[in-house]
Amino acid sequence: ASQLYASAHNQVEGLDSEMEEGDFSGLLRWMQKNIHHQGKRYQPPELIRVATGETLSADYHLAHLRQRYLASH
């Protein structure tokens, strides 16, 4: 999920501000185009690569956890 969100964030302009206002339509459109409509075409590892341009990686989730729990507040 972290890798998918990072890719959506890079591709959908203003995604963070939309989501802060409770509007998830930009994320939903990205998910529909890149995940939902492609789900029958690809197996999960290939779907992640097609949607994000990278093979599946734990790096995005680890970065999220570090920022959330280890960053100075």
**Alpha-carbon 27 to chain mean position:** 8
Instruction: Name the pLDDT band for 73 (thresholds 50, 70, 90).
Output: low
Question: 11-61, pLDDT tens digit by residue?
Answer: 999 999 999 999 999 999 999 999 999 989 999 999 999 999 999 999 999
**Is 90 exceeded by the pLDDT of residue 72?**
no
- Using alpha carbons, select from 7, 33, 9, 6 the residue that is nearest to residue 19: 9
Q: What is the pLDDT of residue 71?
A: 84
Q: What is the pLDDT of residue 53?
A: 96
